[in-house]
Amino acid sequence: MKLHEDTARIQDLLGEYCRTGEDTEIPGVTPGRVHHYRRLVYNVVRDTMDSAYPITLAALGEEHWDLLVQDFFSSGIPQTPQIWKLPFEFYRYHASQETGSRIRKPYLEDLLYFEWLEIEVHTMPDRPYPDFRKHGNIFNDRLAINPEYEIIRLEYPVHLHAVKEATDLKGDYFVLIFRSPETGYVQFLNLSVLNTYIFTRLVEDGVPLNELKGDIASVSGIESGKYLDDALEKFIGDLMKKKLILGFLKN
């Protein structure tokens, strides 16, 4: 139902005050009490960010972290009405402001993105699982992939090292974040560039591994068929243990 024009205006004024703290006359609000609204709303936002980004909070410390939350609270102008999505807008805001460069924490954007993806994968709508069987041949049969995952590229290996170490290791890193079909817990797997290529081709092409071996050999520069087979068997075996590959597609 559409709000009455005066009600909508009052809500906008109260929301603006809660974000900025700038004094303004708000009809219906008792003078001297309005600051309580701002404190309560900020506490909700702060608690949400603390829960969503515990690693970033620990890395920056309370003082720097509070400045980032205050900046977002007063200037970010969130668009989502869902509190659990606020951390994404927090990440997006600071990425757009290049906050990491400004405060000399170049890993910040990667760390926020990584922590947000854990939430996103955990809360993503269920994706339909393919029909699969447990037994088959990893080279000749099509593989059944767990659909509940995301692959991200990072410049800093914040998923592998403490931020002080990660800052000196700028490069290309690929992380596969996925939801376990048995527990629903979110896990991550560091992938080499080659393994990222292999996994992506398996998903996109939907063909048996044997049909990709020529391209994989060309990309990897591996000439020995036996060495390539051993490497592929180990990689696919690891993915099966982690339930990223569920088994073998039926039909």
Does the pLDDT value for residue 82 go beyond 50?
A: yes
Q: Output the six-digit token pair for 154.
A: 């990072």
- The mean per-residue pLDDT over the stretch 161-187 comes to 94
pLDDT attached to residue 13: 47
Q: What value does the mean pLDDT take over residues 84-90?
A: 91
- Cβ count within 10 A of residue 172: 11
pLDDT value at position 84? 86
Tell me which residue has tokens 């701002």.
38
Please report the pLDDT score of residue 3 as a whole number. 47
Residue 5: pLDDT over 90: no
Residues in the chain: 251
- How far apart (Å, rounded) are the C-alpha atoms in residues 134 and 158? 35
pLDDT score at 10: 44
* Domain ranges within the chain, ordered by starting residue: 5-123, 132-249
Structure tokens, 97: 């402001």
Say how far apart CA 201 and CA 58 lie, in whole Å: 37
Q: What is the pLDDT of residues 99-121, one digit of tens each?
A: 999 999 999 999 999 999 999 99
pLDDT in tens, 23-63: 555 555 556 555 546 667 788 889 999 999 999 999 999 99
Q: How far apart are CA 160 and CA 55, in angstroms?
A: 12
- Quick one: tokens of 31? 């003078």
Chain segment 122-171, per-residue pLDDT in tens: 999 999 999 999 999 999 999 999 999 999 999 999 999 999 999 999 99
Residue 37's pLDDT is 63
Q: Which fold has domain 132-249?
A: Outer Surface Protein A; domain 3 (3.90.930)
* Cα gap 213→221, rounded to integer Å: 11
Q: What is the pLDDT of residue 78?
A: 73
